[in-house]
Amino acid sequence: MKVNLEQLENSRVKVTVEVGADKLEEGLEHAYRRVAKRVQIPGFRKGKAPRKIIERYYGVSVFYEDALDYLVPQLYEAAVQETQINPVDQPTFDITRLEPGEGLGIEFEVDVYPEVQLGQYTGLPVEKRVRTVTDDAIASELEQMRLQHGELTAVEGRDQVQEDDYVNLDFKGYLDGKPFPGGSAAGYTLRIGSGQFIPGFEEQLVGLKVGEEKEIQVTFPEDYHAENLAGKEVTFAVKINGIKERVLPELNDDFAKDLGFETMEELRENVRKRLEEAITHGIKHEMENRLIEQIIDSSTIDLPKSMIAQQVDYMLNQFHTSLLYSGMTLEQYMEQAKKTEAEIRSEMEPEAIKQLKRGLILDAIAEKEGISVSDEEIEQKINELAEDSANPEQTRGSLESGRSRLANMIRIDKTWDFLIANAQVTEVQAGAEDAESEAEGK
């Protein structure tokens, strides 16, 4: 077998394969055994007609399709092994020669993983924007914990709806006097002031009494995702079934004990520690982003189109999943945003390219610097992650089954550490508002 490799644009290659008459004959003989089972030749039982007889009736070309189905995957795999290319997609191919008694020629074209020409990646300048946990940030976090552990209790001493009440109600929506799909519910709980319903709905519930029924008018926004309702005025018949309010616990030792701590001070210290860890992670993440942007700008990577398309596919699937969690399909989003899937994919492409370059550069640096991961490091990481989980044994089993993925994660982390350790770091004191923002986004 003769193999020739030619570099094309955008990390695409052409691999030319030539094989002799013997290999082609192997394919034709394989094809004969398959074709013989399908054709009916007078005087012969199905599957028993000699090859020469079939060729006389149909011509030798009757075997070509099955012969190629047999030979092409073999020859492509052999060519990949010989040229040591790393394909990222399925190849296309053209038959350049097919002559029984002479041989077979095939041209494969396929996208391959791109070569990374690294620019400067050590000695790069980067700011370390230092910030500390403030008392206000701790107080804000504790208040959020209070809200999360509040209990809904029936309101006593009044029967009128107020702002921030949790109202149980029945409602039925009418457009032009007729009920419309999705406009009705019974026993629905709604916090007044949450903005969960269309503008004007919640405000008109304030002041209503338990057991009271009322018709209210609202207008759907012009950009509402359902075109039949967008900009339309509708009527809702509502009935208030009950009113509850959220009662928040006091920030004291009893509250701390409910969360597994001995004292409020111990809980406060735990909150401080978690916020500090979040800020430390955020500072490192900022430095990583600033460093990788510089490295990307100075490096050369010729990304193949199929690789970009695959990354966009992944991002689009992730986006669709996030939409489903929020109760919306991709089709509904496109209708509301007035965008086609092609437009969404086009918008995602720059980020897809950035993510691909980021990963390829980190891998190239790790390779060049000999950054590797030992079995001991993998075991240590498995133990850490398992101990921090709610179900250590289940987590451990899951991590053990994905050791290669975990090893790659550790290798990337070590590469980031290498880049920061070899950068020219300048510490800059960030404002208090940055620290609080960091804590909120942890």
Residues 23 and 102: their CA atoms lie apart, in Å, by: 10
Residues 137 and 440: their CA atoms lie apart, in Å, by: 8
Shared domain for 320 and 369, answered yes or no, is: yes
Domain-embedded: residue 11: yes
Shared domain for 312 and 427, answered yes or no, is: yes
Shared domain for 173 and 287, answered yes or no, is: no
How does pLDDT run across 311-343, given as a tens digit for each residue?
Answer: 999 999 999 999 998 888 899 888 878 889 999
Last residue of a domain, one of 218, 247, 276: 247
Domain-embedded: residue 93: yes
Q: What count of other Cβ atoms lies within 10 Å of the Cβ of residue 415? A: 21
Give the helix/strand (H/E) hosting 294: helix 264-298
Residues 255 and 145: their CA atoms lie apart, in Å, by: 10
Residue 440 pLDDT class (50, 70, 90 cuts): low
Last residue of a domain, one of 247, 271, 301: 247
Nearest CA among 42, 118, 32 for reference residue 67: 32
How does pLDDT run across 398-438, given as a tens digit for each residue?
Answer: 888 889 999 999 999 999 999 999 999 999 987 645 545 55
Q: What count of other Cβ atoms lies within 10 Å of the Cβ of residue 409? A: 14
Across the chain, mean pLDDT equals 92
How does pLDDT run across 134-157, given as a tens digit for each residue?
Answer: 999 999 999 999 988 988 899 988
Phi/psi class of residue 77: alpha, beta or left (left: φ > 0; alpha: ψ in -120 to 50)? alpha
Residue 223 pLDDT class (50, 70, 90 cuts): confident
Q: Residue 55 maps to which CATH number?
A: 3.30.70.1050
Domain-embedded: residue 416: yes
Residue 349 pLDDT: 97
Q: How many domains would you assign to the chain?
A: 3
Shared domain for 163 and 235, answered yes or no, is: yes
> What value does the mean pLDDT take over residues 275-304?
95
